[in-house]
Amino acid sequence: MSVVWNSEEMHKSMEMFEYQTGLKGRGGKLPTVHNNSHPIPTQDEIEEIERLMPIDMYFYKYAKQLFHHRWNWYQRNIKNNTSVDPEKDFGKTDSSRSY
């Protein structure tokens, strides 16, 4: 089993984690409030980070693509009650996304 976390969509990450581990409803709750707040970066700051760390940004974009692919698989699996390996068709159904 592989797990890809997406902190921007943590509720989806937790839902898939519970599904994959069979721990649904066993207290896998995330805190809704935390004291670790960060300022939202400006567009200039984001562009500077992208310029300084291109490999990190490539990995980040790839991880987001993988997360969305697995989320879409999970949603189809739940709706169709099927058990297909999401890694077998990676890239086939979500080809519109780019790294």
91 pLDDT exceeds 90? no
1 pLDDT exceeds 70? no
Q: List the domain range (segments joined by +) for residue 84.
A: 14-24+41-94
Question: In this structure, is residue 68 part of a structural domain?
Answer: yes
- Residues 34-83: tens digit of each pLDDT: 566 778 889 999 999 999 999 999 998 898 898 888 888 888 888 777 66
Q: What secondary structure letter does DSSP report for 35?
A: S
Question: In this structure, is residue 90 part of a structural domain?
Answer: yes
15 pLDDT exceeds 90? no
d(CA 18, CA 61): 24
Question: In this structure, is residue 58 part of a structural domain?
Answer: yes
| In contact, 69 and 93? CB cutoff 8 Å | yes
Total number of domains constituting the chain: 1
Question: In this structure, is residue 62 part of a structural domain?
Answer: yes
Question: In this structure, is residue 31 part of a structural domain?
Answer: no
Question: In this structure, is residue 85 part of a structural domain?
Answer: yes
d(CA 54, CA 58): 6
Question: In this structure, is residue 77 part of a structural domain?
Answer: yes
Q: Which residue has the higher pLDDT, 52 or 99?
A: 52
**Cα separation values, 69 from 48, 58, 65, 72, 76, Å:** 28, 16, 6, 5, 11
Question: In this structure, is residue 52 part of a structural domain?
Answer: yes
